Amino acid sequence: MASRRTGALRSILLAAIVVAAGFLAWWTWHTSAALATLGERSVIDSTALLAREKIDRVESVIIGADNAVFHLIDPDDLDDLTLRWPGLADRISPTIRGLLVLDEGGQILRAVRRHPTDDPQRLPWLYRALRDELHLDDPAGYHRHLHGTWGGQRVLVSHLVGHQGQRRYHLLLETDLDYVLNELLPRLFDDPLTRGRFNVTDENNRIVLGQSLSGLGDFVVSARFPTTLYKWRLAMAPGSAPELGVRARRRRVAEGGYVLLSLGVILAGVAFLVYAVRREERANVLKSDFIATVSHELKTPLSVIRMFGEMLATERVHSAEKRAHYLAVIVRESERLTALIDNLLDFARLERGRASYEFVSADLGLSVAQLVSLFCERQAREKPAVVFEPVDEAVPVRLDTRALQLLVFNLLDNAFKYAGESETVTVRVTRQRGDAVLEIEDRGPGIDPDDQRRIFERFYRGRAARQGQTRGSGIGLALVKHIARAHGGAVSVRNAAPQGSVFRVTLPLDLSREGEQDLPSDGALG
Ligand code: ADP
């Protein structure tokens, strides 16, 4: 009950971690995107501010010139204007190209060209072209601009209304757009912040000054001239726009990458945690089974020893033959007990990470042959027969003798336990591509593919072993694997044809001893 509750709590916690990690990733991404947008916004805002200021300056130059000329006019003495203005124009009204003074009814009183070379017909033509759009009824003090294209020509005209006593008069001032485009605007934009990063477009979106800003994306701001050149727009981009654009794109990619990476790491961590917990749970179940089996394994031979010992102690066994048999049983069971306890102690050392090996140079063929012989001497059963295939070459390796015995005995013991019906168990040692190979092959039932994947795990026992109640503790093959790895090798299993299993241990050849003649290589028993 308690473990089910812990399990539920753990699932909830893990789900909460995943949700929290997802939320954190989203929040980080969102916040950094918002900060970046804020940064970009402030760059755009300050560019817009600068554009506004430039527009104000252009307009104030144009309007200032209008006013300067307006103040120069005395409608009763227009000759004075004609004489004085062209001389003063460069200083007080450099933007104005020519002027017309009209009476209240719209009759031209005076037309003055700034440059004598200008076409004398231009001002009258301009008046005719704009006449319908002029508000001649407007009161004195009125100041308005007419901007656009008339007769295929770009024109900006200021219309001011003044009065002399009760009489109103009109002043039309033509702005010199060539001057505005070629001198005024270039001068205004000739600073490091804006140089090369602006343009002016007309009502048809044609660039009249500056260069195309396409490709600078979100950083381009544009605004109209509100009063004077109102058909035109000014567009501006910060000097660092291309770099900012690239950096913004790169930052977005990098931030996305970091967020995904962190999320990936967290999810991988959680997945690993789940895997580790599951594994540990499985190991705990196996451990409980292990304790039960080991207790049973220890108890059975002890009961036999005790029973036969007691019978001998009562001296009721008179036949010498029987006594010898009882004694043999006691010895055999003690050896079984010793083997089991050895396995357990070695396993405990491995579990604590204290296993230590003493490697010596040896010939694998010879060592295995001796161990097979020792195993057979201790084995009471006649079948299966262990056949050691002769080795026709030296197989030099570095090995720990006691560990090798543990490895070989465990594999042979398993062959006897699980493949007892085999006629033979074959043991062979060969050299294969730089490796020393030991194979133990039986003709038993073989191993289920699902079990093959797990039999080298500690405490794991095959389904057949559990169901068939074969004695065992599930640590033999874990020990074999550990020993093989400690020797720099590996162990694997496959099913044999037509039936049975082949356990294959590979160890690295000790090539430093290659060519030494004193290594026995025929598998002779010691
Ligand atoms: P134990 O023999 O104590 O159960 P092991 O670690 O030695 O533990 O073996 C693990 C499992 O591998 C066994 O329970 C058995 O199912 C399977 N196994 C080992 N050797 C053989 C074999 N030669 N033939 C069939 N199954 C085997």
Give residue limits of the domains in the chain.
35-190+241-264, 191-236, 266-355, 360-513
> Looking at this protein, which amino acid is placed at residue 492?
S
> Looking at this protein, which amino acid is placed at residue 87?
G
Q: Domain 266-355: state its class.
A: mainly alpha
Can the peptide bond before residue 120 be classed as cis, meaning omega within 30 degrees of 0?
no
Measured from the Cα of 461, ligand 1's closest atom is 14
CA distances 517 to 363, 452, 499, 513, 514, Å, are: 12, 40, 39, 9, 9
Integer Cα distance of 104 and 102 in angstroms: 7
Q: How far is the CA of 462 from the centre of ligand 1 (A)?
A: 6
In the structure, which protein residues have their CB atom closer than 6 angstroms to any atom of ligand 1?
410, 414-415, 418-419, 442, 444, 447, 451, 455, 461-462, 464-465, 472-478, 501
pLDDT value of residue 452: 94
Q: Probe ligand 1: pick from 418, 470, 480, max atoms within 8 Å of CB?
A: 418
Integer Cα distance of 327 and 67 in angstroms: 135
Domain 360-513 has CATH 3.30.565.10: yes
Measured from the Cα of 477, ligand 1's closest atom is 6
pLDDT value of residue 427: 97
DSSP label of 512: G
CA distances 246 to 38, 215, 240, 241, 258, Å, are: 17, 11, 10, 9, 18
Integer Cα distance of 210 and 195 in angstroms: 9
Helices 2-72 and 241-313, axial angle in degrees (round to 10): 170
CATH code of 35-190+241-264, in short, is 3.30.450
Cβ neighbour number for residue 468 with a 10 Å cutoff: 11
pLDDT value of residue 91: 92
Measured from the Cα of 466, ligand 1's closest atom is 14
- Closest protein CA for atom 3 of ligand 1: 472
Q: Probe ligand 1: pick from 416, 447, 479, 505, max atoms within 8 Å of CB?
A: 447
List, in sequence order, the alpha helices (H) in 73-113: 78-92
Q: How far is the CA of 410 from the centre of ligand 1 (A)?
A: 9
Cα 49–chain centre separation: 40
One digit per residue, the tens of pLDDT, for the chain of length 526 reads 566 787 788 888 888 888 888 888 888 888 888 887 888 888 888 889 989 999 999 999 999 999 999 999 998 899 998 989 989 999 999 999 999 999 998 999 999 999 889 899 999 999 999 999 998 888 889 999 999 999 899 999 999 999 988 889 999 999 999 999 999 999 988 877 777 688 999 999 999 999 888 877 778 899 999 999 999 999 998 877 667 777 878 888 888 888 889 888 888 988 998 899 888 888 888 778 778 777 877 888 899 999 999 988 887 778 889 889 989 999 988 988 888 888 888 878 776 766 678 899 999 999 999 999 999 988 877 789 999 998 889 999 999 998 999 999 999 999 999 988 889 999 999 999 889 999 999 999 999 999 999 999 988 999 888 777 787 888 899 999 999 999 999 999 999 988 999 999 999 999 886 665 444 443 333 2
CB 263 within 8 A of CB 21: yes
Integer Cα distance of 10 and 339 in angstroms: 41
pLDDT value of residue 526: 29
Q: How far is the CA of 461 from the centre of ligand 1 (A)?
A: 6
Integer Cα distance of 169 and 65 in angstroms: 19
pLDDT value of residue 421: 86
pLDDT value of residue 381: 77
Q: How far is the CA of 480 from the centre of ligand 1 (A)?
A: 11
Q: In 3-state terms, the chain is what percent helix, strand and coil (to 5)?
A: 50, 20, 30
